[in-house]
Amino acid sequence: MTELRLATISTGAISHNVETLRALVAPAQVMAVVKANGYGHGALESARAALAGGADWLGVADLTEAFALRNAGIDAPLLAWLHQPGAAFSEAVRAKVELGISNIAQLTEVAAASGTACVHLKVDTGLHRNGAALGDWQQFFEAAVEHELAGRLRVRGIWSHLANAGDEHDAKQIEQFAAAIAMAESVGLRPEFRHLAASEGAIKHPDARFNLVRLGISTYGLAPSDDVDAAALGLVPAMTLSAPVISVKRASAGEGVSYGFDFHCETDTTLALVPLGYGDGVPRQASNRGPVSINGVTGRIAGRVAMDQIVVDMGDVPVAVGDRAVLFGDSSSASDLSNSSGASNFSNSATASMSVPSADNWAAAAGTINYEIVTRIGQRVVRRYEP
C-alpha cells in the first residue's frame, strides 16, 4: 500500500555520517544525540544506526527518552541532562543512565538516590542556559567531591555548551571551559570525560573537542550552520519526506488558490494536491514559497499551507494522480521517488531538476533552520526505515 504521508529514513546514512564524523574528531569519542525522537528520524532506529556507525555514547534530553531506549534493549553509555525537581534519579541509576547535573540542588537530589549515580557536572561558560554559573563553580565542585568521597555518586564528566556566536566568543568559551576543568581538578575531581562541542563546534574548532563531542544534527546528515558544507564533509541527509499526488487540475491565469487567495495563478497552470500540511509539521511560514519536486521537476507551494494539504504549482509539467511528491531529501543526487518524464515544458513556477529540495531549502523558505524542519515532522507521517 502506498503511504499517504511518508518519511523515508536511511539508517545507512546515519551510520555513515557517524563513521565520517568519528574519523574527523578522532581521538575524541563521539556521542550521537537522539533526543526529540532522533531529531524527527526515530530515536530507537537512529540510536541503533549511530551505534553501528561507531558512536561511543548516546545522548538524550530527559529521562523519559532515556528509559525508552533502555526498555528497547539499548545498553550503550547514555547521558540525559534536563531534569525537573523530583526526577526519577533512582530509576536512572538502576537503568545505568548517566546524568547531566547543573546545580547543587540537583546534585543533592542525585546523591540521595538509591545506588551510586554517574554524573557529568555542567558549567555555564556563557550560553546562559543550564549549568552552574561561574560564581558557583567552586561550591559546586566541592560539593561533588564530598558526595564522591562518601560514595554517593561518581563524577564521570564535566561539560558545557558553546553558544556558536562566532569564533571570538567560541574561543572565550573554550578558554573558560578549560578553566573550569582546572578548578575541578584543583579540588580533587578527576572527570574521565570532558565535553564542550556539539556538531558545529566539533566540526569547526578542533580545540573544542577535548575527549568527547556531542553530535546532533550532523548525525542526520545536515549542516549545523550556514558556513558548514555538509556535503563537502561527506555527510548524507537521512530523511526524505514525500506523499502521493491525490488530485490534479488545471487553473486559469488570475485564479486564486487556497485560503484567502494569497496566491493567484500567473498563467494557466497545473495544480497538484499533496496530503501534507502543518498538521504533519510542514511550516505554514513556507506558504507560497516551499519547494516540492514531482517527476524530477521542482514546483512551489501555491497559496497557504493548510492543516492537511498543500497545493503545488507545476506549470505545464505533466502530473498524474499517484505521482510521488518529494518535499525534501538528499539534494546532492536524484531521488528514487522522482523521474524525468515531462520535464521539458514548464512555467517559471517549476524548475527542471534531477535532484530534490533539501531541508535547508525548506528552512530558507520558512525563515527557520534545518533542525526545525526535520524535528517537527509529525506522528501522522509514517517512518519507513531503509539501509
DSSP tag of 311: E
Task: Dig out the grid coordinates for 362 from the structure.
Answer: 525548506
Q: Whole-angstrom Cα distance, residue 99 to residue 16? A: 28
Residue 172: active-site member = no
Ramachandran angles phi, psi of 252, nearest 5°: -90, 155
Catalytic residue among 35, 39, 220, 371: 35
DSSP 243-283: EE--EEEEE-TT-EESGGG-EE-SSSEEEEEES--GGGT--
Query: Is 204 considered catalytic here?
Result: no
Q: What is the CA radius of gyration of the chain?
A: 24
- Which residues on neighbouring strands pair with residue 59, listed in sequence order? 33, 79
Strand segments, DSSP code E, in the chain are 6-10, 29-33, 57-60, 78-80, 98-101, 117-122, 153-159, 193-195, 212-215, 239-244, 247-251, 256-257, 263-264, 269-274, 291-294, 297-301, 310-313, 324-328, 351-352, 382-386
Cβ neighbours, 10 Å, residue 149: 9
Give exposure, 204-235, as e/b (b: 16+ Cβ within 10 Å).
bbeebbbebbbbbbbbbbbbbeeebebeeeeb
Whose cell is 524525468? That residue is: 340
Where do we find the cell 497538484? 272
Annotated binding residue 307: yes
Q: Of 96, 259, 278, 371, which is the active-site residue? A: 259
| H helix or E strand, kind and range, residue 355 | none
Q: Say how far apart CA 32 and CA 329 lie, in whole Å.
A: 21
Angle at 173 between CA 168 and CA 175, to 5 degrees: 95
Smallest Cα–Cα separation from 81: which of 126, 42, 33? 33
Residues carrying an active site annotation: 35, 259
Residue list, annotated binding site: 129, 307
Residue list, annotated binding site for substrate: 129, 307
